[in-house]
Amino acid sequence: MINKEILSDTDSIYNYMDGEKVLGYLEIRLVDGVVDIMNLFVNEEDRKKGIATSLMNKMIEEEDYSRIMLEVNENNIEAIKLYSKLGFKEISLRERYYGEDTAIIMEKVK
């Protein structure tokens, strides 16, 4: 089950629950029609079960947005595949954003 927790006027968290246990979460900020993905996390033992995809799809269905923005480490291949599958496109790079690693800036337009 996925539930949405509203933290403030702009910030929310989607929690993927198994009973009382949180298996993963998606933290977002929505300002002026732009969703910024702040964090997407799934417990290591619960990965490869579609939890991240479910969280992203639930957010895409529920939020009123014109575009969604995120940044991802160039070496996080699984996350890049997920975002690409969901329709995100690479729009920019931030060199050495993660120490020596580059951040890929991705966007999904409604």
How does pLDDT run across 8-31, given as a tens digit for each residue?
999 999 999 999 999 999 999 999
- Spell out the domains of the chain, with CATH numbers in brackets: 2-109 (3.40.630.30)
| Segment 36-94, tens digit of pLDDT | 999 999 999 999 999 999 999 999 999 999 999 999 999 999 999 999 999 999 999 99
pTM attached to this predicted model: 0.92
pLDDT at 106: 98
pLDDT at residue number 97? 85
- Alpha helices (H) in 2-110, listed in sequence order: 51-62, 77-85
